[in-house]
Amino acid sequence: MRYGIIADIHSNLEAFQQVLKALGLVDTLLCLGDIVGYGPNPSECIELLKQYPNMTIAGNHDLGCSGKIELSDFNTDAREACEWSQQQLSEEQRNYLQNLPLTRQVNKDIILVHGSPRSPIWEYVLSKDDAITNFNDYRFRICFIGHTHIPVLFEEEPSCIYGLVKPQPNGIIRLNRESRYIINAGSIGQPRDGNPTASFAIFDHSKWEIEFYRFSYPFETTQEKMKKEGLSSFLINRLSLGI
Ligand code: ZN
């Protein structure tokens, strides 16, 4: 099985379309949540995702934009974008987001969570220490995550040595079948690692290999749409900076 690993689309249709083209043939998309929030095309991104075989889980923005959780835990920009998104979604789309599971077991090896196994919606796994706690408390061989918008691969070797790899674009990483992993493929619609291009990965389960990709997309188009809708200038500007 070849899986397209996608996360944090954030209503960015231009980036999402570009990634779907670049992905080519994969068996299933594993979508790590935050389909919506921040960007100008929430409905279109949901409908586009539904056209592909996918296994998708909820992110905090999916639940915020569908009214399932309170917006008091979001910062001002995120909250205002959620309120705007709520107005754009149909009832069917709100139901779809509300009913996304928080975690998913893809097969005997792979689980999906937006934040972390310990806190599926809210925890940011940024450091080795964050990863170690989750390795220790939960059983999985590979856990794909999103939420931080930063591509990274954490490894727990059988001898409990822990590693952190910042993946290079277009480089294949051969995983060790004896190790366990927490892997973030980065964000499609709002990358935050200083590189504004859309980030995603392909995992080949039979070969136990993962390849990370970056693709540019016309973010000026997305920014223009956001301006027209009156979304915050901070959210608009960050797309060209990758922050
Ligand atoms: Zn996000």
Q: From first to last of its 243 residues, what are the pLDDT tens digits of the chain? A: 999 999 999 999 999 999 999 998 899 999 999 999 999 999 999 999 999 999 999 999 999 999 999 999 999 999 999 999 999 999 999 999 999 999 999 999 999 999 999 999 999 999 999 999 999 989 899 999 999 999 999 999 999 899 999 999 888 999 999 999 999 999 999 999 999 999 999 999 999 999 999 999 999 999 999 999 999 999 999 999 999
What pLDDT is attached to residue 231? 95
- Give, as residue ranges, everything with CB less than 5 Å from ion ligand 1: 8, 34
Quote the CA–CA distance of 128 and 162 in Å, as a whole number: 7
Distances (CA, A) of 66 to 12, 95, 158: 17, 7, 41
- Separation of CA 8 and ligand 1 centre (Å): 5
What pLDDT is attached to residue 100? 98
What pLDDT is attached to residue 170? 85
Quote the CA–CA distance of 77 and 81 in Å, as a whole number: 6
Asked whether 95 and 58 are in contact (CB, 8 A), the reply is no
Helix, strand, coil shares, percent, the chain, to 5: 30, 20, 45
Quote the CA–CA distance of 97 and 56 in Å, as a whole number: 10
- Separation of CA 235 and ligand 1 centre (Å): 12
Q: What is the largest CA-CA distance in the chain?
A: 54
Instruction: Write out the CATH class of domain 2-241.
Output: alpha beta
Instruction: Look up the pTM and report it.
Output: 0.97
- Separation of CA 178 and ligand 1 centre (Å): 31
- Separation of CA 99 and ligand 1 centre (Å): 18
- Separation of CA 186 and ligand 1 centre (Å): 10
- Separation of CA 173 and ligand 1 centre (Å): 24
What pLDDT is attached to residue 171? 84
- Find, among 123, 165, 121, 115, the residue nearest to 144 by Cα: 115
- Separation of CA 56 and ligand 1 centre (Å): 14
- Separation of CA 38 and ligand 1 centre (Å): 9
- Separation of CA 42 and ligand 1 centre (Å): 13
* Boundaries of every domain in the chain: 2-241
CB atoms within 10 A of CB 59: 31
- Find, among 19, 39, 21, 14, the residue nearest to 31 by Cα: 19
What pLDDT is attached to residue 101? 98
- Separation of CA 158 and ligand 1 centre (Å): 31
- Separation of CA 149 and ligand 1 centre (Å): 6
- Separation of CA 68 and ligand 1 centre (Å): 16
